Amino acid sequence: MTNTTTTQPHPLLIKLGLADHPRVVMDITGNETPEADGIIVVRNPSTGLPLAGVKLDDAASYEATTAKSAEAFKTFRKVPAPLRGELVRRIGNEYRTVLEDLGSLLSLEMGKIKAEGIGEVQETIDIADYAVGMSRQLCGITMPSERPEHTMKEQWLPLGPVGVITAFNFPNAVWGWNAMLAAIAGDTTVWKPSLLAPLTAIATSMIGEKIAAEMGFENIFQLVIGTDDVVGETMIADKRYPLISATGSCGMGRRVGAVVAGRLGKCLLELGGNNAVIIEPDANLDLALKSTVFGAVGTAGQRCTSTRRLIIHESIADAFTAKLVKAYETVNIGDPLDESVLMGPLINESSVQQYENAVSEAVKQGGTLLTGGTRVDLGGELSGGHFVKPTIIRAPASNELPMAYEETFAPILYVFTYKTLDEAIDMQNSVVQGLSSAIFTGSSNAAQRFLAPTGAGSDCGIANINLGTSGAEIGGAFGGEKDTGGGRESGSDAWKVYMRRQTCTINYGDELTLAQGIRFE
């Protein structure tokens, strides 16, 4: 057992009100087992040192939270949608006041660089702005009836309490995508965040809870922080949640999907990705280089949209790969709160081991290690951090590299070559996941083949032309196909998943007229 104690709160915890929060324990002595004394120790991935302890929910507190959410829904669904939009508008404005501090806390706890941490909070602000407009556009359609003096229409109605389960890598924005749209839909939200980033979740939820309470909407946004066996399994089996929105691994999604389907509930699943970039000979190679580096190295490869495979035409592969290696070797690794740093740590030691195992296995399978492949000891206060080098592995001439078909949440890029565009698209589609994809080309024909309306192009939920696999905007629906789960969050008509559709027929005449010409006299 490793004893750890912290008595000096990090300044960010004080500024954001976490040091005095009833869930947060600043004087901690315990081990890394989440169940120990009902407290989980949250560690800084850049140092390995504890930031704070967080109290876990048990079965009783989960039940109390869920009951309050179900009761609050009965009242909140009656609030006019534009007023629900006003709630979201005020929440977005409150996030603007803490944008840098909350983004910095996210970087401190999760390890993504400060620019990305602030950018993630900006995503929540953006989806709040988007949701405000949507609150006046939750429109159904009217349809002509085949019967005289009849009218048909559809309307969208609040669904109920929504259970939101999020992963460590986006501990703010994914909640925002769900909670802001659920709120304008008239739903309440209970959030189960990752145990690897609960401090950001508490700070994020505090703002929603505060603004809702100020407007008289108690228990609209709530938080349950607990283990999968005590909280997670109970939540996905709970019929009081008509919708479970879950972000995580494909294996987790299969479990959630099976349990929720067993009670005939609805799922919104955002699962893994094994995303590829195709580069054609006529592409803007400087643009492709920058985009590939960001896609593969950003967030230390811990995005579901991270670029994991590079599929490049054989005529330019050697020269481009040499430039890519050179660019990788200039990536500054270190404290993610240092604005000169481009890549922070992996989330924990287990992730480092998975990275090392993946590199070792890929080399055994015939891959050539071009750069990286090792952990990094930065010394000093960062000596206990979970830092690794961004890595490029080139597949053998046969393009056979089984390890590349497995998603490793780390900065590992596998390089493949191709002869024809059809071959490249087949390679891109050959993995079980179907989240994000990209092609760099100067040819409109190649771009259109990649986006073929017949479905013969990219089989992913996201397909980009001349930009990388990461960096989705909130205006478009985000999600993927195949083992990625088929879910869609954020923009477009994603709001519909948080509501239920009702078809209404109105007879404004005095006669009984049946459909399909049926006579009953």
Three-state DSSP at 431 gives: coil
- Burial label, 188 (beta-carbon count in 10 A; 0-12, 13-18, 19+): buried
Which neighbouring-strand residues pair with 418? 313
Sheet holding 391-394, edge to edge: 368-371, 391-394, 412-418, 307-313, 275-279, 436-440, 462-465
The verdict on whether 270 is a catalytic residue reads yes
Give the gyration radius of the chain's Cα atoms.
Answer: 25
Is residue 417 within 8 A of residue 394, CB to CB? The reply is: no
Q: Which helix (H) or strand (E) holds 270?
A: strand 266-270
Phi, psi of 501 (to 5 degrees): -90, 140
Catalytic residue among 120, 123, 270, 489: 270
Buried/exposed code over 193-206 (b: 16+ C-beta within 10 A; e: otherwise): bbbbbbbbbbbbbb
Catalytic residue among 109, 304, 407, 489: 304
Phi, psi of 407 (to 5 degrees): -85, 115
Q: What is the C-alpha to C-alpha distance for residues 192 and 164, in angstroms, rounded to an integer?
A: 6
Which neighbouring-strand residues pair with 268? 245
Q: What is the C-alpha to C-alpha distance for residues 162 and 242, in angstroms, rounded to an integer?
A: 7
Nearest to 92 by CA among 124, 137, 117, 115: 124
Catalytic residues: 270, 304
